[in-house]
Structure 1
Amino acid sequence: MAKIPSPSVALVVGVTGMAGLSLAEALKKPTALGGPWKVYGTARRSKPGWFPSTLVDRYISFDASNLDDTIKNLSPISNEVTHVFWVAIQVRENEEANVSINSAMLKNVLDVLKSGTSSRLCRVTLQTGTKQYMGPILDPSLGNQLVPRDPPFQEDMPRLPYPNFYYALEDLLASYTPSFSYSVHRSSIIIGASSRSVYNSLLCLAVYANICKHQGLPFRFPGNRYTWEHFCDVSDARVLAEQHIWAAVSEKAKDQAFNCTNGDVFTWKSFWTELCKVFDVQFVQFDEKEKFDVVEMMKKNAPVWDQIVEDHGLFRTKIEDMITSFDALKIVLNFEFQHVSSMTKSRDFGFFGYAGTLRSIEMWVRRLQEMKIIP
């Protein structure tokens, strides 16, 4: 009698973020590589109202930074999980603290899944990003001292001489080999749909556009002339999910790091033009004399957003909870270099996923509207 193959069992850690949601959706497709998949989705908080109940076989809420909580919640499935998709992140006051908390989370989960003699864990995919090449740009004590590598960013560029929790997580994964293999996915700015992502540029821009529309204010670009005119790239959450799954079942991708972008580039002027069409606001040419601080503007308009949420019966989000994301957006839109990553290695290894960035904006905005996160 032919042996029935063991099912693929995924643990998506951070399932309510932009990448996590797209991962769960991609894994549940009948055409998913390595499938059919049983999918466990985890997050620190309870399941938000916009998260489809049928998207995962089981939703598990626990704090991965707490070993006892991790043991309690993951031990019952530790002999099932074959693949971990790590798209979780916690952000602290500086990069040293980021190293500590994120390393503890990953180690706790891996140690629990590997603790039993019947562990089936064979592959872990780790999501990081272009801070790999730029350094800890959001660290208040280091952000102004950093000298990034020249773009386009390539995977074999040497590490920068600064603390970076991405480096720590890669090293932690490598320390478990050959117990299991892994892959690293260095995303650009992620475009997707969620109210739970620490960094969500599209949601920030949607909130900003809706406040401008509500107040009758011009929807001005809150960056510098360089980013307005020069190239940037982003990572569609669907492409990122595809790359994670491809690498999880590919022998060639074992123990490798890959950049993951849409495969195209854009100027923020063209991105802004598309945003204006989608949100039905007037396009305003960039004017350096109209420079303003988008973070301070959003703080002042927090009550306005509260009113918009109330008027439209939206899922309750608060400007105060988005400030970290607005801080990051402010930095990104004021770069003095082109934020572009090379996808050559990824293609050489056999991954050809892509998305048209400007075409995808409206789709993701409509998705946020369907989820009742924005009006």
Structure 2
Amino acid sequence: MATMQHASVALVVGVTGMAGLSIAQALKSPTAEGGPWLVYGAARRPKPTWFPSSTVDHFLTFDAVNSDDTNATLSPLSTKITHVFWVAIQVGLDEKDNINTNSVMLSNVLKVLTAHRPIKLRHITLQTGTSQYVGPCHFTGPSDAAQHEPPFHEEMGRLPYPNFYHALEDVVKSYSSYFSYTIHRPSIIIGASCRSVYNALLTLAVYAEICKHENTPFRYPGTKYTWKNFSDMSDTRVLAEQHVWGAVNEKARNEAFNCTNGDVFTWKRMWGVLSEEFGVEFELLDEEGELFDLVEEMKDKGQMWDKIVEEKGLVKTKLEEITCFAAIQYVMRFDFQLVSSMNISKEFGFFGYVDSFKSVRFWIGKLREMNIIP
């Protein structure tokens, strides 16, 4: 396929993650804005067996932390790539580590793509998240530390804690004389992949399968507050649609946008949907009992998951690589409603939405189609 036929040439960095996969699929849609697109998908590891070959035109493997590897891989493309979709993440031991590693990754890629004149790169979409408003998961400061009040909106200033999202924004903005950008802030991301660091749905699916295997109750690991109050989430199809929209609409350039499904849910009702889909008994929260510690409960379940994978003939995965028990438990113990406003996004002309309960059912189906869960 000749690059000259395409006015828009995309590089999706982090293409095997939930968001990256959906972005690549959105770009290859015949109705994609700004298309037809030639799509390069990039990941740190080789293409997994469940990744559809038709999703990208070219699959690249390189380590963005390594400047030499990045340069060798991307230099031949520096006169072709017009748009970067940044959905890559490496999680370190603490927020300082996150800042250093992720900043280096993004800087290495942008240095290569702006090394030759004239610069072909016109736009980068940067995915961050609602940690912008509540502080990073690694934050262990006082319980009364500064925090924004929901619903969260894009004009809210940065909280006074280290946050690698801030560092990534600063890297992108330092190149604003060369190309435009949009920043996309999803909530709890719902999609299908076993290559995403924070995959709430896959984590809950694995937990449910272990419960079934051991004949133990599928207990909610959160608080009475989150059980009954509102939260939102972000379907990767909506997120991908917003990335592409932001990449090609002049009105959106150099703006930040929240991205959620456009509705809210309670975990009480969602737990019922999950129980039904995973085939486990719906377990009401014991509002007077002690908090259930999911992290402690799952810490020694690696061999159990290996057994399930073997018995069910699933894609070979390791429990510690596909789950984020600490992160999902952290979210389920918030003392505020995790709700972001989509008003600015609508004012700028983006109206993507999906029903969150239908979204969860859809992506559970996809995880099964991909043979990641039974």
CA–CA distance in structure 2, aligned partners of residues 240 and 297 of structure 1: 32
Q: Is the 8 A contact 1:136 1:142 kept in 2?
A: no
Gaps of 5+ in 1: none
1:334 aligns with 2:338: no
SS of residue in 1 equivalent to 2:299:
helix
Answer yes or no: is 1:238 the counterpart of 2:242.
no
Contact 1:134 1:146 in 2 (8 A): no
State yes or no: 1:113 paired with 2:120.
Answer: no
Q: Does 1:275 align with 2:269?
A: no
What residue number does 1:352 align with?
Answer: 351
1:75-154 equivalences in 2 (<5 Å): 75-139=75-139, 141-142=140-141, 146-154=145-153
Separation in structure 1 between the aligned mates of residue 25 and residue 290 of structure 2, nearest angstrom: 42
Distance 1:311 1:6 in 2: 46
**Which deviations, in whole Å up to 9, do the C-alpha atoms of 1:280-316 show, x marking residues without a partner?**
2111111042532111211222221110000011111
In the other structure, the counterpart of 1:194 is 193
Root-mean-square deviation over aligned CA pairs: 1.4
Tell whether the 8 Å contact from 1:298 to 1:319 is kept in structure 2 after alignment: no
C-alpha distance in 2, partners of 1:6/1:210?
A: 45
* 1:55 equivalent in alignment to 2:44: no
In the TM superposition, what are the counterparts of 1:290-329 in structure 2 within 5 Å?
291-322=291-322, 325-329=324-328
Whether the 8 Å contact between 1:86 and 1:127 is mirrored in structure 2 is yes
* Distance of 1:218 and 1:103 partners within structure 2: 42
1:32 aligned partner: 32
Quote the Cα distance in structure 2 between the aligned partners of 1:145 and 1:123.
39
Cα gap change, 1:54 to 1:6, in 2 (>3 Å):
closer
Percent identity over the alignment is: 59
Q: Distance in 1 between matches of 2:100 and 2:229?
A: 36
SS at match of 2:251: coil
Q: What is the letter of the counterpart of residue 22 of structure 1?
A: S
Q: Distance in 1 between matches of 2:173 and 2:346?
A: 23
Greater CA drift, 10-19 or 92-101: 92-101
Contact residue 232 and residue 268 of structure 1 kept, 8 A: yes
Quick one: distance in 2 between partners of 1:142 and 1:198?
Answer: 23
The one-letter code matched in structure 2 to 1:37 is W
Q: Distance in 2 between matches of 1:115 and 1:329?
A: 40
Task: State the 1:251 CA deviation.
Answer: 0.4
Query: Which residue number corresponds to residue 252 of structure 1?
Result: 251
Alignment partner of 1:17 is 2:21: no
User: SS at 2:72's partner residue?
Assistant: helix
Secondary structure of the equivalent of 2:250? coil
Equivalent residue for 2:70? 70
CA distance in 1, matches of 2:39, 2:122: 15
Per the TM alignment, residue 159 of structure 1 is displaced from its structure 2 partner at its CA by 0.8
**Equivalent position SS for 1:11:** strand
Deviations 1:121-167 (A, max 9, x none): 0000000000100112224x448564320000010001111111111
Q: Which 4+ residue blocks in structure 1 deviate beyond 3 angstroms?
A: 141-147
Query: Deviations along 1:238-264, whole A, 9 cap, x unmatched?
Result: 000000000000000000000000000
Is the contact between residue 314 and residue 373 of structure 1 (CA under 8 Å) also seen in structure 2? yes
SS of the residue 1:292 aligns to: coil
Structure 2 counterpart of 1:107, which letter?
Answer: S
Q: Deviation string for 1:198-223 (max 9, x for gaps)? A: 00000000001111111111111111
Aligned equivalents of 2:51 and 2:258: distance in 1?
Answer: 28
What is the SS of the residue equivalent to 2:157?
Answer: coil
Paired positions, count: 370
Asked if 2 retains the 8 angstrom alpha-carbon contact of 1:137 and 1:143, the reply is no
SS in 2 for 1:129: coil
